[in-house]
Amino acid sequence: MALTQKEKDILEEYIQKRIDTGYGIPYSFSIKQDKDLKKQIKKEKHDDANIYIRKNVERTYYDYEPLKRTINEPKIKQRGE
């Protein structure tokens, strides 16, 4: 079952709200976790809505850089240094 245009608009509005607030959406997000979305989207279409959100998760993050590995230098110096 595909999502209707009304349901897509609801999801787009939710995604845009998360972008504007700067919180983003975790990839493991599910419709069941949000009370408003749970009420607005039919239970039979929750799986389709979850897929739709996962496809658009990348839009909610900006300036993402993977963590850079830092080398921990020893705090105690060797003799003779």
| Tens digit of each residue's pLDDT (9 = 90 or more) over 22-67 | 788 888 889 999 999 999 999 999 999 999 999 888 877 754 455 5
| Tens digit of each residue's pLDDT (9 = 90 or more) over 3-21 | 999 999 999 999 999 888 8
Return the domain boundaries, the chain: 5-60
In this predicted structure, what is the pLDDT of residue 49?
94
In this predicted structure, what is the pLDDT of residue 11?
94
DSSP 27: T
Q: Looking at 1-81, list the stretches that DSSP marks H as alpha helix, in order from N- to C-terminal side.
A: 5-21, 35-40, 46-55
- Determine the Cα–Cα distance for residues 67 and 79; give it in Å rounded to an integer: 34
Q: Which residues contact 27 (CB under 8 A, 6 or more apart)?
A: 54, 57
Query: Nearest Cα to 55, choosing from 35, 29, 18?
Result: 29
